[in-house]
Chains A and B, each alone.
Chain A
Amino acid sequence: MSENLLLSYLPPMKQIVIMLLLISLSATPSSAKSYGDMPLPIRRETMSVKDSTSTTKAKCCPETDEETIATKRHTRLRTHSTMIGLGSNNQLDTYLSPLEYTGWEVRLLQENRRPTRLLSGRVEVQHLIQANYSYTHSLTRDTKYHSGLLEWQAAWHYRWQVLPWLRLLAGPQLGLHAGFVYSTRNGNNPAQARLSGDLNASGMAIANLRLWGHPVEARYQGDLLLAGLMFAPQYGQSYYEIFSLDQPHHNVCFVWPGAAVTYSQLLTLDIPLGTAALRIGYQGVIRQYRANHIKMHDWQHLLLLGYVKRFELVKFFKE
């Protein structure tokens, strides 16, 4: 199969992903010198610590050990990024309609990453807060869905420096999701609540590259749902029965990949720009459930634009 044929076969958003990745093929890994050139700007913030505990700790960590110093410094590096995403959403919720709805989605993402002291400072924690709103419609546009979702995810990634320019990270991720889908035309089944908590396997690859002569950081992250609990009404159960009559009936369901695969992936490219970095990227979310004979899916593909701020807290220990 030729490349063109492959591209024409894939949905448009997948084509965009592949094109982004093909662009990055033209990148080369940063040289040793270029790493010294700081691919992304870091703001340093100083803080004096005068208590005796800190002094003792400083003594316990001989600063002549370069690796220890590097690790200690590394554990102070924090990355904050804010992104806005715009893209498409394909929704199915058979509680509301057997038809698939398509439309647009807008999303806000706030990502914070910081190292921890766990496992000799090789564990990073990532907090990801997302809020999205979708407006989708049926093929004939007779009915519309308004949907929103608020998500909080926290991941603990163990870091491997597999190559000088490449880090791999992997670890568990916890997620909480709350939202709704509202149909503009339905009567006694006008909306569907989205409430779930899940445990995911999260992996990340971060490469420091030079793209057309400029230092950039490319990151790919994939999160695969392993197990979780979600709210779902019974096949034909009304929300009146659940909430007005207070009669739940197996409305908390176990979800796992054997029932339906839920996977999200994030591809970002950070380009230094002044004291911060410009971030462009792609986010793809395949969120799917089968519960109580109800099928649901959200297939979201978004282009992301945002900025990244990195800063380092430097502590001075009083001898």
Chain B
Amino acid sequence: MKESPHTSHIVNAPIRTQAAMHRFVTLVVIVAVSLTALSSCVTEDTYDNTPSGNLEALWHTLDEHYCFFSYKEQESGLRWDSVHEAYRAKLSPSMTQVDLFEVCTEMIRELRDGHVNLTSSYNVGRYWDWYERYPANFSDSIQRNYLHTDYYITQGIKYRLLESGIGYVYCPSFDPAFGQGNLSSIFSHLAAAKGLILDVRNNEGGLLTSAQALAECFINDKTLGGYIAHKTGPGHDDISSPRAITLTPAEGVRWQRQVVVLTNRRCFSAANSLVMYLKGLPRVTIMGARTGGGCGMPFSSELPNGWLLRFSACPMYDRNMQLTESGIDPDIAVDMTSADMQRGKDTMIEAAIQLLLSQ
């Protein structure tokens, strides 16, 4: 066979021994295994899938990632270390998953935060007192008397021109992604209206980008919407300096007349952020009840047993650097009255119509 040019210069090399070969292979084995085994591994403290392990994982994840501890201490006297002790005492090795879920749910309710949830395959542990303990201030049956059946709808937003000449837009959720085309179509359709009612009652949030896109239809210049921060480490006060959220005027159709935003306690999360963006703008009036709050953008994590944990991770502040976690007060407080409801009238919509017609 022809000699390889690649190896021709070593043809006359000394005779190799099998011992040398074995030394080489041994060296490779030692290097490979040592580097693999001795490399300092990057790992995270893990907890066993036991009642104790899952409760510890829950407590520690919140302890290191939840963003409102200082605020909750001031607002409700929360002592997170005491919570740890109290709920650890409720554990027993023989408790069922259902019992454990109850204990864990009770523990997260101590935070009094609608964004803190624990999801198992059969239930969602939650704190919904932020709206369940307050008047509903909304009835979809009565709303039908205004929307009728021939309303327009795009991306879940229902809209029509009311008999009074006021435009009515009901935005039940920010889960859909709003495009400029969707929003421009709404305001073009209502261009003849004397004023606009933007109803976000019972809107429990969704995409912050959708709330921002809607808010940007009501401004003509770059406007400060609020501030956002994030955790920079596991300490309770490891929070970054807040950074401005700047609203940029929408490129499509922008609303130039008066607007009344209707709110109730069930306006939460991204809907709360929309109200935060719009409050104080010229031509905008917030009417109804205090919003539900929820100004911490939630992150997700999980427990060893697979339960999904959601918690507030990024605090948001209004233009005055105040947290809106507990909600935003309306400019004009209005509640639904029993008398109006019996007549099929929505007190808030009626009050908004009166206000817009009088301006």
> A-side interface residues toward B, CB under 8 Å?
10, 14, 17-18, 21-22, 24-25, 27-32, 35-39, 42, 66-67, 70-71, 73-74, 77, 92, 94, 97-100, 138-143, 161, 163-166, 183, 185-190, 205, 207-209, 220, 222, 224, 234-238, 240-241, 244-245, 247, 249, 260-261, 263, 265, 267, 284, 286, 288-290, 292-293, 295-297, 312
State the total of A-B contacts with C-beta under 8 angstroms.
Answer: 233
> In the complex, what distance in Å separates the CA atom of A131 from the CA atom of B197?
53
Binding stretch for chain A, among B157-165, B254-262, B300-308:
B300-308
Of B33-41, B81-89, B326-334, the one with at least 4 CB within 8 A of chain A: B33-41
CB distance from A52 to the nearest CB of B (A): 26
Q: In the assembly, what is the distance between CA of A234 and CA of B238, in Å?
A: 11
Complex-state Cα separation, A244 to B297, whole angstroms = 14
User: When chains A and B are docked, how far (Å) is the Cα of A70 from the Cα of B9?
Assistant: 6
Q: Which of B21-29, B141-149, B185-193 faces chain A? A: B21-29
Cross-interface CB contact of A237 among B37, B230, B298, cutoff 8 Å: B230
Are A38 and B2 in contact, with the CB atoms below 8 A? yes
Interchain CB contact under 8 A, A293 and B233: yes
Given A185-B300, A189-B300, is A236 in contact with B232 using a C-beta cutoff of 8 Å? yes
Q: Is the CB of B21 within 8 A of A209?
A: yes
The answer to whether B13 touches A164, judged by C-beta atoms less than 8 angstroms apart, is yes
Q: List 20 A-B contacts (CB under 8 A).
A: A32-B10, A35-B10, A39-B7, A98-B57, A100-B43, A138-B306, A139-B304, A165-B16, A183-B300, A185-B308, A207-B24, A235-B232, A236-B67, A244-B208, A265-B36, A267-B28, A295-B44, A296-B42, A297-B43, A312-B6
Q: Whole-angstrom distance from the CB of A41 to the nearest CB of chain B? A: 10
Partner of A97, one of B8, B11, B36, B301: B301
B71 at the interface (CB under 8 A from A): no
Beyond A36-B1, A138-B302, A241-B243, whether A295 also contacts B43 by CB under 8 A is: yes
Q: Does chain A have a CB within 8 A of B220?
A: no
Which label, helix, strand, loop or mixed, suits the secondary structure of the A interface? mixed
CA distance A224 to B35 in the complex (A): 10
Whether A245 pairs with B297 at a CB distance below 8 angstroms is no
Min distance, Cβ A218 to any Cβ of chain B, angstroms: 8
Since A14-B33, A163-B13 are in contact, a sample of 7 more A-B pairs with Cβ atoms closer than 8 Å, ordered by chain A residue number, is A38-B2, A73-B5, A98-B57, A140-B306, A234-B240, A237-B230, A284-B32
**B134: Cβ under 8 A from any A Cβ:** no
B52 sits at the interface (CB 8 A)? no
Contact between A100 and B46 (Cβ–Cβ < 8 Å)? Answer: yes
Collect the chain A residues with CB atoms within 8 Å of residue B234's CB.
235, 293
Beta-carbon contact of B42 and A288 below 8 Å: yes
Is B290 close to A, CB under 8 A? no
- CB contacts (< 8 Å) of B25 on chain A: these are 21, 24-25, 27
**Contact code string B320-341 (vs A, CB < 8 Å = 1, else 0):** 0000000000000000000000
Q: Smallest CB–CB gap between B246 and chain A, Å? A: 8
A187 and B117 CA atoms in complex are apart in Å by 12
In the bound assembly, the distance between CA atoms of A4 and B244 in angstroms comes to 62
- Tell me if A290 and B5 are in contact (CB < 8 A): no
Q: Which of A92, A241, A286 has the most CB of B within 10 A?
A: A241
Q: B32–A32 contact, CB under 8 A?
A: no
From B11, B20, B57, contact of A35 by CB (8 A) = B11
- Whether A188 lies near B299 (C-beta < 8 A) is yes
Q: Does A36 contact B11, Cβ atoms closer than 8 Å?
A: yes
**Is B31 located at the chain interface by the 8 A CB criterion?**
yes
Which of A71, A141, A142, A261 is within 8 Å of B40, CB to CB?
A: A261
Contact A98 B21 (CB under 8 A): no
**B32: chain A residues within 8 A (beta carbon):** 17, 21, 220, 222, 265, 267, 284
Give, as a whole number of angstroms, the nearest-CB distance from B226 to chain A.
Answer: 11
- Contact partner of A32 (CB less than 8 A), chosen from B12, B65, B67, B228, is B12
User: How far does the alpha carbon of A109 sit from the alpha carbon of B238 in the complex, in Å?
Assistant: 42
